[in-house]
Structure formats: structure tokens, C-alpha cells
Amino acid sequence: MHVAIAGNIGSGKTTLAKKLGKQYNWDVQLESVEDNPYLKDFYEDMPRWSFHLQVYFLNSRFNQVSRIRESNGGTIQDRTIYEDCYIFAANLYKSGYIAERDYQNYLELFKSMIKHVQPPDLLIYLKADIPRLVANIQKRGRDYEELIRIEYLKNLNQHYEEWIGNYKLGKLLVIDVNDMDFVKNVEDEAYILEKVDLEVNGLFS
């Protein structure tokens, strides 16, 4: 069982991943954030560090997927390798932060990797509008994230809507979290867990 959570920065992926890992006794594969050597530099100077950051994330995610394939148990993954390419790298390229030559190099690397990747059995997409994302980002208080521009989040959301709208790699569960607080509100948490449980049980039937 491989379940992955997709969503923009601040949508609640990591929190939900930990909750589901505990609920189902799954291995939790989190995004490499705290030990990422490029993230702080990226938010300070996107044109200089975009390519470096995306290659780091792509390699990190590919290693995650390899570990998931070798695992015999269930795994919950915070963000997918598809988002690295179709959302983040594509957005940075279209925004002019990654040069054409570097972007084509990145795409060739992604194509080589994706041949060895199996999509998750279930993809959970946390849909959140900009006010919710900004509130969550401010709440967790990472210094470097204070530099994130609203326009950057808006562009990412547009890429997510397009990607999710055409997602056909496996089962998809979309959860609108705009009016939810599944950290503090027990009812919201129970609602999400129930929806996920129905999908997970459906995979076994």
C-alpha cells in the first residue's frame, strides 16, 4: 500500500501524513525540507538556485520511491515525484527562473527516472486557497518561508488544479481543507480519516 499526499506549500501535507502513518501504522516518508541545503538560498534568490533546488528534490524523491518499492509494509508519502516536475519545475521555468537549457536537462533526467517509478495506489490532494496557505505558512514560522511571494503560491495553485484535473495514474481523493482545521478540530480530523478509510478499504476489495 502506497498512499501519497499532494498539495501546495502550507496545505497540511506533513501533518496529515503523520496522522495517517499513526492511524494505519504506515511508514512515513516526509519531504526533505529541514536538511535541504538549497531551500533558504532559493527563496532569497530564485533565478540562481531554482535548478539546483529542483534537482535536489528530484533525486531525494526518487530515492524515496525506491525505498517504497523495496518496502513490504504500507507507506504514506509527503508529496510525489510528479509534483516536482509538473508543478514546481514547470512553474519555475514558466516564471523565467530556470533557463531553457537547464529545464530541458531536468526533463530528460525526470524521463529517465520515471521509467522506474510506480504511481501511488491512492493520491490524496489537499485543496487550499491562498488565504489558508498563507495562514498555515505563518503559523509554522519557518524563517525562510517568510520570503514566499503570494504570486508564487497562486501560480503553484494553478499548476496543481491543471495537474489534478488531468490525473489518471491511479485512485484520487480530493479534500477541500479551506474551512478545516484537522489539527485542533477533532470532527475535521475524523471526517478526513473516514474519507481516507473508505478509499483505503476500497483498494483491498
28, exposed or middle or buried, with CB in 10 Å at 0-12, 13-18, 19+? middle
Active-site residue, selected from the candidate residues 35, 45, 78, 84: 78
How far apart, in whole angstroms, are the C-alpha atoms of residue 41 and residue 170? 35
Query: Is 27 designated active site?
Result: no
- Could you tell me if residue 25 is left (phi over 0), alpha (psi between -120 and 50 degrees) or otherwise beta? left
Q: Residue with C-alpha cell 524515496?
A: 64
CA 30 to chain CA centroid, Å, is: 9
Give me the active site residues, please.
78
